[in-house]
Amino acid sequence: MEWTGAVNAAIDYIESLLDGEIDLREVVRIACCSPSKFQRLFLFVTDVTLTEYIRMRRMSRSAEDLLESDIKIVDLALKYGYDSPEAFTRAFHLFHGYPPSVTRKFGAHRKYERLTIQVNIHGGHGKMDTKQDRMIIENVRPIGWGQTSANPYVGAVTACLDALGEGNDFRYAGMISGMGFAYTWSTVGSNDMNMVDDAMISRTFDALGFRIRIYRDGDTGNSPPSREKAFYMEEIVRSIDRGYPVLGFGFTTGEPYASAILGYEDGGQRLYLRSYWDGDVPIGVENHHQTAIADYQVMDDWYANCRGIVVLEERVAPALDGKRLLKQCLQAAVELSEQKTIQFYDLVVPGGLAAYDTMIAVLEDDAYWEMRDDVFLREMDKQFSCVGLLLADHYRNWIARYWLVNHIDASEAGERIEAACENYALINWLTARMIGERRTFLENPLDLEKRTAREDMIPFIKIVKRLDESAVECLKEALALL
């Protein structure tokens, strides 16, 4: 279609001048329409305004410049049209969630890719042929906070295991996926969703012996789903009909959290799920018996939130066990602990041991804390405590408890694993006293505005990091002995 070619040509022009002056008159001349019509058309097709698109592309490009060169902030500000370094730094932090100094040091940033316009129309009066049917995998237990220690991916995998008749031990799911060591930290969003990349998904189902197909969109929800609803419906229906659950991302909320899709109705228009947000199902281990279909989460309006699915094709090998399982887990522990950044959709976030360094860098950055309101300070306190260090403590303890029961023996490798578990027990003891039941780092979260209060937090974070580093060294030694 000619108009799509014209709009793409206009985008080409914009892309060529992201670090220069973009002339709107030239944009609309290339697009062959009036300024008002082009702006309406651009918003309708892309769901962002032209101005917003240019701003986000410039912010994404500026992060690349920071990481690939030694350009100064003042020069970067001028390059992308900002009057001062301060104005650029504020805009950069608003978009990426980090100041430029943290991005340059740790690589944390958010990507916003170039848009390309494509239109596909199939058939006249076309309507998907749906059947008034229903197929549900029954008796799958709910996902609750108490059962999964606040991790949607591990909870969803556990529900899939339950559906397959493989048990429902979330510690096992946390171990085979590597999630217990995939701790990430950022100043925005929820750190319990920031680490699920395709490598983790592949690791999970390789350990279970399944061949899978992964279909995931490239961003965290800024764009509509890249595939048509009919595609997802067909894949989900085919899988459920074979008795296999589907791992979904999004579906229940605007965030790309994982859920287990366990049934469908009306050809897939309505879905039955177990997810972290199990609707009115009470949360906690005490509700573990609620397995009736009536307790499942039902979604009719799921497509707008869909960020992708993982389809189980067939089992091609038995699940890993014994020494093979232990070896995979140790390898994942070492790799993920030493991985400085993890990409999750369009986000690049600090991971592993580098997450602690990022926490410290943010606490030491006085400019970041200037003129912050009470709501921001309370949220940031949570980022350091209940979705920060307490989350890392949860993850480490999943693994420690599983190993202590299943993999500690009198061998040299077993002794090194036991030494690592002792470090995790110390981390648990420390966090219980520093954060504990009040789920907050400071008695008064508003004190985060004070540098002295932030400085008091830093030694504790450094101690936790040293204990974690020492545990990783023990696991390396154990891996070498296997």
So where are the chain's domains?
2-110, 134-322, 353-481
Sign of CA dihedral 42, 44, 46, 51: positive
Q: Which residues are within 8 A (CB) of 384 and not within 5 positions of it... i.e. 6 or more apart?
A: 359, 441, 457
The owner of tokens 């690589």 is: 107
What gap in Å lies between CA 197 and CA 249, rounded to an integer?
Answer: 12
Residues 6+ apart with CB under 8 A from 212: 201, 202, 205, 310, 311, 312, 313
pLDDT of res. 287: 38
Q: What residues contact residue 51 under an 8 Å CB cut-off, 6+ apart?
A: none
Q: Which structure tokens are listed for 310?
A: 């993982």
Q: Which residue has the tokens 């339950």?
A: 162
Please list, in sequence order, all residues whose beta carbon lies within 8 angstroms of the beta carbon of residue 376, skipping any fewer than 6 positions away: none
Which pLDDT does position 436 carry in this prediction? 67
Nearest of 16, 61, 80, 9 to residue 38 by alpha carbon? 9
| Strands, E assignment, 121-269 | 134-136, 210-216, 246-249, 258-265
Question: Which residue's structure tokens are 């220069």?
Answer: 20
- Which pLDDT tens digits describe the chain residue by residue (482 residues)? 467 888 889 999 999 999 988 998 899 899 888 888 888 888 877 777 888 889 989 999 999 999 999 999 999 999 998 888 888 988 888 788 778 888 888 787 878 888 887 765 544 433 333 334 678 888 787 776 544 445 888 889 988 988 888 877 777 888 888 887 888 887 766 666 657 888 889 999 999 999 999 998 766 556 778 889 999 999 999 898 888 999 999 888 767 788 999 999 888 999 999 887 654 443 333 333 444 455 788 888 899 889 899 999 888 888 888 888 888 888 888 888 888 887 766 778 888 888 899 999 999 998 888 878 888 888 888 888 877 888 788 778 877 877 877 767 778 888 999 899 899 989 888 888 888 666 677 788 888 888 998 998 899 999 999 999 999 999 999 999 98
Strand partners, 243: none
Same fold, 2-110 and 134-322: no
pLDDT at 469: 93
Between strands 210-216 and 270-275, the pairing is unpaired
- Identify the pLDDT of residue 468: 93
Angle made by CA atoms 11, 15, 21, in degrees to the nearest 5: 105
In angstroms, the CA 141 to CA 287 distance is 9
Distance, CA of 85 to CA of 102 (rounded, Å): 15
Cα 234 from chain centre: 26
From residue 234, give the alpha-carbon distance in Å to each of 139, 231, 308, 311. 24, 5, 13, 11
* CATH node for 134-322: 3.90.70.10
Dihedral class, residue 259 (left if φ above 0, else alpha if ψ from -120 to 50, else beta): beta
Please tell me the predicted confidence (pLDDT) of residue 476. 93
For the domain covering 2-110, report its CATH number: 1.10.10.60
Residue 466 · residue 353 · CB < 8 Å: no
Residue 118: how many other CB atoms lie within 10 Å: 8
Return the bridge partners of 271, or none.
264, 299
Positive or negative torsion for Cα 18, 21, 27, 28: positive
pTM value is 0.72
Compute how many other C-beta atoms are within 10 angstroms of the C-beta atom of residue 197: 17
Is the CB of residue 471 less than 8 Å from the CB of residue 369? no
Residue pair 104/66 in contact (Cβ under 8 Å)? The answer is yes
Q: What is the pLDDT of residue 360?
A: 92
